[in-house]
A and B are shown apart, each in its own frame.
Chain A
């Protein structure tokens, strides 16, 4: 199932739901690359509020999405990580830098997306 990528103002918004399969994660990365190239947004927001688990593979893909978007000249904000997911990621030994709450993420993007 493809994860919808929405366009709001000059930004792309992705809300990931539930449990992400490896294939879905990789598909999202490719779709985002395509959409960034075609739509030339100024920012990308990836919201994890509804994500119940982030394991090492999904964490790697999220990091890759972030690096890839930056490489394409786009600001990325990742928002809404659940407390249990944050604790688990730290114990797994993974640091995903710069995750914000959704409101802060939106504020940050709004500043550049207008």
Chain B
């Protein structure tokens, strides 16, 4: 039943970033994540959502509850049809930014979550999938 729980947030401006934070906070809270993990997950989604608005203009965040047979977790897919990332290795480096930010968005998100994968094609868009498992 819970594995069917899915929420999509369409993103086009910074108010949608706040909405994405709220959605993921509610889901992670209802799943039983502790306060610090809720904050980690919410912060990670805020970074991914901002990247979408900033670099792609629009896109979506998909949240769902997953289960690997042993543990329950939350999976978030951040997807856009934007210009894509030229050099993913560089984008994953701390301090690297093309937008005058702090350059901590992607590497920081990876540290906040248990699993992180990124796929990007120039001219086609970027998909980031992150997961956090209940301890």
Contact A93:B108 (CB < 8 A) given known A21-B17, A52-B25, A56-B47: yes
Interface residues of A, dominant DSSP: helix
Contact A19:B22 (CB < 8 A) given known A83-B36, A84-B35, A88-B36: yes
Contact A19:B18 (CB < 8 A) given known A53-B46, A88-B43, A93-B108: yes
Contact A55:B50 (CB < 8 A) given known A84-B36, A87-B39, A88-B36: yes
**Cα distance, A109 to B111, chains bound together (Å):** 36
Q: Is the CB of B105 within 8 A of A56?
A: yes
Q: Is the CB of A21 within 8 A of B14?
A: yes
Q: How many residues of B contact A (CB 8 A)?
A: 26
User: What 1/0 flags go to B40-84 for Cβ under 8 Å of A?
Assistant: 101100110010000000000000000000000000000000000
> Which chain A residue shows the least CB distance to B22?
A19
CB distance from B33 to the nearest CB of A (A): 11
A111 interface residue per 8 A CB criterion: no
Contact A91:B108 (CB < 8 A) given known A55-B43, A57-B50, A83-B36: yes
Contact of B112 among A22, A23, A88 (CB under 8 A): A88
Residues of A within 8 A of B (CB): 19, 21-23, 52-57, 59-60, 82-85, 87-88, 91-94
